[in-house]
Amino acid sequence: MKYIAEDGLSTRNVPASTMDSIELSAKCLYLAGIKLDTYLTTDNNLVIVKSDVKLPSSFGPISNCSYELLKKYNIGTKVKSHYINTLNQVLEVYQDNKQIIILNLIDESKNKERYIEVLKQIINNHPTDNIYVLSSNKKMLDLLKKDSINAKIGLKMTNNNVEEWSEDYDFYVIDTNTVPVDFIKDRLLNKKEVMTNLIQNKDELTEYFKIYTANIIDDMYIITLHPKIIKDYYNNLTENNL
């Protein structure tokens, strides 16, 4: 099993999705990668922001803000300040790193064409093969496929886009319990990467273990807020089932 840190690793004084969090994740030997929420600002910057970050209500949606405004706001603690970073800054950290970076594309502005245009410019300026881009939106995915991009393209599988499940993507992220086991087996046999967003604690991992065989789970990625806890519990679970 391979582990992806949702929003990167965090500690008491290192909030998720900050530069310290991203650098901490990049050095973590048991991680296969990180997954980050990505937003387009009014001044055409792509920024990395945790979905539940607390910004002043006067800011409104992130897509209504400029990076010039966002970068001045401390999202850290009184002990240590932390600030919102751009995708360019994150990719510099991962330039020579084998971990994968999954960019979850959050399109609040509904300006999908501009979003994808900026994304492609940034990614194509970073020659690396470890960038994955993820969306549940068909139009976003179609725009990604339209022109060349130096990244793998993935579908976030939800109950609202079942018609897209049969389409061909580089990887799939399961965000619903209704995905058939045979679908996962088929994608793995066809050398596609399959990830699940559904395991955040020991009980959820135990339930997952009841549904899928160990060899299937071993080939999957687990995207979780608690990768170390899940890793240790999974190792214990598999040892007890030998």
Query: pLDDT tens, 136-178?
Result: 999 999 999 998 899 999 999 999 999 999 999 999 999 988 8
Going from the C-alpha of 199 to that of each of 72, 93, 118, the distances in angstroms are: 34, 27, 32
- Once rounded to an integer, what is the mean pLDDT over residues 20-48? 97
pLDDT of residue 241: 63
Catalogue the E-assigned strands of 88-139. 100-106, 131-135
- Once rounded to an integer, what is the mean pLDDT over residues 125-141? 92
Output the six-digit token pair for 56. 């002043």
What SS3 class is residue 196? strand
Residue 41 contacts residue 119 (beta carbons within 8 Å): no
Residue 135 contacts residue 106 (beta carbons within 8 Å): no
CA 117, 152, 128, 228 torsion-angle sign: positive
Average pLDDT, the chain: 91
Q: State which fold the 2-240 domain adopts.
A: TIM Barrel (3.20.20)
In this predicted model, what pLDDT tens digit does every residue of 43-60 receive, in sequence order? 999 999 998 888 888 888
- Taking each helix axis from N to C end, the angle separating 112-124 and 138-146, rounded to the nearest 10 degrees, works out to 40
In this predicted model, what pLDDT tens digit does every residue of 66-107 receive, in sequence order? 999 999 999 988 889 999 999 999 999 998 899 999 999 998
pLDDT of residue 127: 79
Q: Which residues contact 142 (CB under 8 A, 6 or more apart)?
A: none
| Residue 117: Cβ-neighbour burial (10 angstroms; 0-12, 13-18, 19+) | middle
Output the six-digit token pair for 169. 């993507």
Higher pLDDT, 92 or 1: 92
Going from the C-alpha of 10 to that of each of 15, 63, 122, 235, the distances in angstroms are: 5, 25, 26, 22
